[in-house]
Structures are given as C-alpha cells and as structure tokens.
Structure 1
Amino acid sequence: MNVLVTTDGSDRSLCILPHAARLAAALDATVILGRVLDPRADAAGVVAERLEAAVADVRAAWEAVLREALAARGVAGEPLVIERRWGEDVPAAILRAAAERGAAVIAIESRGAGAIRHAVFGSVAMGVVGAGTVPVMTLTDCPPVPAGEGPYHLLVTTDGSPDARSVFPAIAPLLLPGRFRVTLCEVAVIRAQETEAQAKARTLPGLEALRPRLPAGVEVDYRIPVVPPGAGIDTAIIETAAAVGAHAIASATHGHSAQRHLVAGSTALGVVRRAGLPVILVKSSPVA
C-alpha cells in the first residue's frame, strides 16, 4: 500500500508531507513524493540534442530534489517524477500514477485562498477528487502534526444523506483495528420548539446505524454538535475536530469543479479552507 503525495516544487506544497507520513504510518504504507513533469514546458530551457535527453536531465534533477525534501522532513519515502502524457492534464497524470503505484490515498496541498481564487486559477486537488475514486487528503495551511502516540484519529462527517454515506466504502478498507479510531459526526440543526437534547436524540440513531459500515475492532465514538438554523455547519465540524483531537477530517463531496462550488457552495470545501488540519475528500455518489 502506498500514499502518493504530490508537490509542484514549492515549499508550501510540501506542508502536507508530514501529515501524509503520519497517515502512512498508521496504514503501514510507503510514502511516494511525486511531481508532474510536462516534457515540453519543463524541459524547454535544457540544452540537449533531443527532447528525450532534456527530459531525462530534468527527471534526474527533480528526483534528487524530491529525495532531499523527504530527508529534510525526516520522512522515509520514494521520489517519483510523473511524466505528463500528450492530451493529459495534471489531475489525470496524478490519478494514473496513483493507479500504477497502488496508492490508497493521494495527498495534495490546496492553496486555500478562497473559492474565487480556485474558480479563476483552477484546483488540482478538486480535479483529482472530481475525476477519481481514490480518497484525496488536502491541506490549506502549514499546521504541525499533532504530537503524541496512539491510533490515528479520524473525524468522519455525514449529513445523513445517501450521498454522504459514500465516504464509508472509500475509507473503511484503510481503517486497521488498533491503528485507527473514528469519531462519527453529524451536525444537528435545531428545529422549532426543540431542545438541544431532543435534537441530539433525534440524530443519534441514524449516526449509530453507520457503525456497521466501519471495520469491526475499530474504536468508534459519536459527536452531535447542535446549531441554530443558518449557522455554519463547517464551523461546527471544525470545532468538533479540534475538541476531540482529530488528526484529519473525512467527508464526501460532490467533487464538482471549483467554479461550481463558487456558485452552489459546499460544506466540505468550507471545511477544507478553514480546518487547520487535513481533510480527506471522497467523491460522493448515492450509497444504500
């Protein structure tokens, strides 16, 4: 099993690397640090008799830089230069490399400059989520990895819909008993004439019904933050993750383009932008 971490060569894009390494340790997986090489663009300034020779020079130089990046952050892993094929965009190249290397998770730093920035410049992370079936870990800041030993703590969110349940078949195969613990979280929007206790009691059965979708032997807890109508669902999720000391948040998302998110809004995208810890996204589809 592998975890593919991608970088564009910037220091910022490497902020996710130690977080991905923490997840890889729980999975007993190998970290692969990859960068997509566009032969005609990235080798254009290299003096060589043939394009293939120029590409080989760039590949060797990038592999050395990737090894240095792994060593500088104390992460045991392998470098991978992903050569972009004709007609292939960057998300497609990443997904192909993930399939070829058997990656269980893809980790990509997201710029986190807001939906407008994403809509104008695009988002590799959203492109990978929208086009693939592999869980995608994203991060928009450079927080440290939480200290301490013990299982990897994952906060899994749901809104009770069939689409939201699609996160479970994607992440359940990764959750090794003893190495992971899960907190299932659903935000309850309080109804008229309803108390907070009643809102929690109304929501809990549906949350408990999700337990069989997780592997037996994995420790599972439940959290139901209660908010008034119109309150920020993403804020409640982020605050809950901080309260339980989660290493990451897992959520299903519609996986549309960033421009669609700008128009329609997305709780998952709001969590990604503001969480201050990794968010593992899975493209949603109705699950019985």
Structure 2
Amino acid sequence: MKLSDAQRKRVQEDELQILIKFDEICRKFNLKYTLAAGTMIGAVRHKGFIPWDDDIDVYMLRNDFNKLRKIAPMELPENMFYQSHYTDPEYYYPFDKIRLDGTIFKETFLANHNINHGVFIDVFPIDSISNNKCKSTIQFYHYRFYRLGLMTKYINIEARSGKRKTLANILRVLYLPFNLDYLYKKCEIIAQQKESRYKNSKWVRNLNSVGSDGMKETYHHYAFTKLEFIEFEKNKFYISKDYDAMLRAIYGNYMKLPPKSEQVTRHDLAELKL
C-alpha cells in the first residue's frame, strides 16, 4: 500500500506534531539532538519535508538517548507513546520511535508483530567509537553481526521478495541458535560498553544505519554538540552545524533533486488509519 498525496500530507502533519513535542522535551531537559538523514536534507533544501517523504529521523548521542528513554515516557502527552523494547516488548528495533496513539501506520516489515503501529518519528542513538580505525572497524562488525541476526529474525519475512527473501531465509537458518532477546541484548551491551570505554573519543558512528555502508555515517563528536536552529515547516529545530559534511558523506550532492522515478515515499504499508 502506497500513500496518496493527501494521505502523505496528513502523515507529515502528524509527524510534525510529534517532532514539536520531542523538541520541547529536549529543550526542557537540555538534551541535544539533530535532524538527520532525509529530514536534514528537507530542512536544508526545502525548509521542511522533502515533498515526497513520509518520515522524520533525528540523531542523539548515546548518553542523551539513554536519558530520553527515561524521561520521555513521563513527559509525553497522553496521545503519544515512547516506543522501545522496554516499553513495547515485541518491538525489537535497536533504535526507538515516538508514536501517535489513535493512528495506524503499519509497515509491512512489522505487520506481524503485536506492537503500537501509530504514526511515528525515529530516534537513533549515535555511539562513541575508538579513535583507532582498526578497533572501530572491529566494533562496527561485532555490533552488525548481532544486528543482522536481529533484523533477519524480527522483520516479517513475507514483506520481502526475490533475492532478499531467499537471503533472509538462509540467514534465519544461520542465526537459528540465537533468539530475539539474546540478539537484542547483545546489541545493547556492545553499544553501552563501547560508549563507556570510548566516551572521550573524538569519533562517533550511527551503528544502526540502513545498508552495508554504515561506516560512512562516522562523524566528529562535535557534530552533535555544536548545533544551530534551522527552519522546518515554519518551526525551528536543531541541526548540526556540520550538516553539509554529514550529508555529503552519505548522499554526495544532496542539493540536487533525484530523478522523478525516485521521488516516492519509502514505506510500504499493510494498514493506514489517520
């Protein structure tokens, strides 16, 4: 199921309301964040959503992310839900979401799980890594080994097709000895231990980036502490002052619009209720 233009605009409106509340909490408790990925591009290039986008991403350093996990469930209004494995036990993504209750934005990848499926924004932790390139590479693949197993076993296999479904079936056999709880805990432990060990490192990384090119999302620590305001849908939110270098590292010339064929929403939905 793909969104119509009217549905996409309504989803964007709901996501914006979540982002506004998230920003209020972060300012109240002095938690640092930056708009990220397509949301960062949208802010810089469009002063709001990329017209065809259907999600919002933010990044936070692990320490602030851990604080948010404790604070947000108590600070969010009654119509919003902070979703992590600890608040929604069948949710096993190693990053968190803030959901809008009373809505359904059920992704096919998660449709078979009994979780809150409301419209959401994604909150990604950014983790400290070693200044030593060899050690940080080992850390990356150590984490990604368990994350690959977690996603392989967790994501609805029927939402895949072709070679991806075949590969998922093969990986499920390889990861058969590990259950979801074990894989999730390993991801958490690795990230938290390295955060403690390398807390004074000058480098950080998004260990949960999508795809195999995750090491591109390696940044100076100051990219998440030196922030400025940017306009996004007539509101002001935080963005890293280093946004240009961050975006170029992943997307190249991010100011150039993609071909029309690629100007489509990203999520495939099993159910939608707004």
Q: What TM-score range do you get, normalising by the shorter chain?
A: under 0.3
Give the structure with the larger helix fraction.
2
**Structure with more relative contact order (C-alpha pairs < 8 Å, separation 6 or more):** 2
**TM-score scaled by length of structure 2:** 0.26
TM-score of the aligned structures, taking structure 1 as reference length: 0.25
